[in-house]
Amino acid sequence: MSILIVPAILSGMMMGAVYALVALGLTLIYGVLHIINFTHGSLLMLALYVVYFLNLHLGLDPYLAIPIVLPLFFTLGYCLQRGLIAPMSGGSEQNVLLITLAVSLMIDNLALYFWTSNTRSADIAYAYDTVEILGALLPLGRVIAFAAALAVSPVIWAFMAFTRTGAAIRAVAIEKRGAELVGIDVNHTYAICFGIGTACVALAACLLFPTFYVTPQVGYTFVLVAFTTVVLGGMGSLPGALIAGLLLGIIESLCGLFLGESLGQIGIFLAFILILLFKPSGLFGKRAGS
């Protein structure tokens, strides 16, 4: 069993990078809009279908689909927030919760109606390629996802820190009324933020597809862990989501190895409970009122 520990840690990190990628958009949307976005899993599923159909009908590689899928889902997220969530919620967070849940149910059931619950995957040439690191054979697709997760977090952080739009988003997040008073279009900023979050989940879909499958239920496979990642990392914290994602991946993998795969997820929720007990704001979260 001991010879399996290093490969298990490494493969856990690779899986954790996927969790982090899915969680990035979720934490961004929560950090700014304070929306617990229940559509996240459904949007992940939708993006996976888009990647699948682009591959099936146009022969487009999932990675090459990124320049198409990201703008598409940014627009979708923007329109969803601007055209549906904002006007229907009337500023109430409870309403937002219900609206995102309703949209999620609609997307899932439409997917089931149009595409059935049939499992779909693609026979991509490099899907079985591996990279050898420290004696462990890691799927190439997962290694690319890991590298992307490491790269995307600083890019989003830099965008938030150094661009005017980023500054506007931060201003709206901190003081909505104040931001409005200095001339920031709050609704537009909210929608941009939702769009970026949705684009993040679309990126996760492009990076996930070569090593996974797609069904109308696939969002549920990741969204619960993504919510856990966001809370564990600190709600709204981008570095927190990355570190928490990797941590959860490693914990899940080691627990699976030592306790059995059926009990692997116990580790995730045990770590979650412990962190909340001793650091309720999460690993990188700010204390309430600070």
Partner 1 sequence: MKNTFNRRAILQGSGALVAGVAAPSVLRAQTPIVKVGVLEPLTGNLAYNGTQCAAGAKFAAEAINAAGGIKSMGGAKIELVVVDAQSRPEVAASAVDTLVEANVCAFTGATASALGLASSQAAAKYNLAQVFSIGTAETVVTRGLPNVFRFTPGVNKCTSIALENLKLLNQGAGNVVKTAAIVHEDGPFGSNMAKILAEELPKQGIQIVETIPHPTPHRDFSNIALRVKASKADILIPSNYINEYTLMARALNQQRVELKAIYSILGGAASNIKFVRENNEVAQYVMDCNHWYDPTKAESKALAARVAAAGLDLTYDVMVSYATIQVIADALERGASADRQKMIEALAASTFDKSIMPYGPTKFVNGDNTSAQPVNTQIRGDKIELVFPKQYASAEAVFPVPVKKN
Of residues 113 and 278, the one with the C-beta less far from partner 1:
113
Whole-angstrom distance, CA of residue 151 vs CA of residue 149: 5
Q: Does 53 bind partner 1 (CB under 8 A)?
A: no
Q: Does 212 bind partner 1 (CB under 8 A)?
A: yes
Q: Does 128 bind partner 1 (CB under 8 A)?
A: yes
Q: Does 266 bind partner 1 (CB under 8 A)?
A: no
CB 118, min distance to partner 1, A: 4
Q: Does 112 bind partner 1 (CB under 8 A)?
A: yes
Radius of gyration of the chain (CA): 19
Q: Note whether 249 and 149 are within 8 A (CB).
A: no
Show the tokens assigned to 162: 């150094």
Of residues 15 and 70, the one with the C-beta less far from partner 1:
15
Choose the stretch contacting partner 1; rule: CB under 8 A; options: 37-45, 88-96, 132-140, 172-180: 132-140
Choose the stretch contacting partner 1; rule: CB under 8 A; options: 24-32, 40-48, 108-116, 191-199: 108-116
Choose the stretch contacting partner 1; rule: CB under 8 A; options: 37-45, 133-141, 198-206, 237-245: 133-141
Whole-angstrom distance, CA of residue 208 vs CA of residue 142: 8
Q: Does 42 bind partner 1 (CB under 8 A)?
A: no
Q: Does 137 bind partner 1 (CB under 8 A)?
A: yes
Residue among 107, 192, 193, 257 that touches partner 1 (CB under 8 A): 257
Q: Does 127 bind partner 1 (CB under 8 A)?
A: yes
Q: Does 63 bind partner 1 (CB under 8 A)?
A: no
- Provide the 10 A C-beta neighbour count for residue 264: 18
Residue among 71, 154, 178, 260 that touches partner 1 (CB under 8 A): 260
Task: Give the CA distances from residue 118 to residues 46, 61, 154, 205, 207, in Å, rounded to whole numbers and listed in that order.
Answer: 14, 21, 37, 18, 21
Burial group, residue 220, by CB count within 10 angstroms (0-12, 13-18, 19+): middle
CB 208, min distance to partner 1, A: 10
Cβ partners under 8 Å of residue 86, min gap 6: 187, 190, 191
Count of residues that bind partner 1 according to CB under 8 A: 41
Which residues would be at the binding site for partner 1 (CB under 8 A)? 3-4, 7-8, 11, 14-15, 112-113, 116-123, 127-130, 137-139, 211-213, 215, 217, 220-222, 252-253, 256-257, 260-262, 264-265
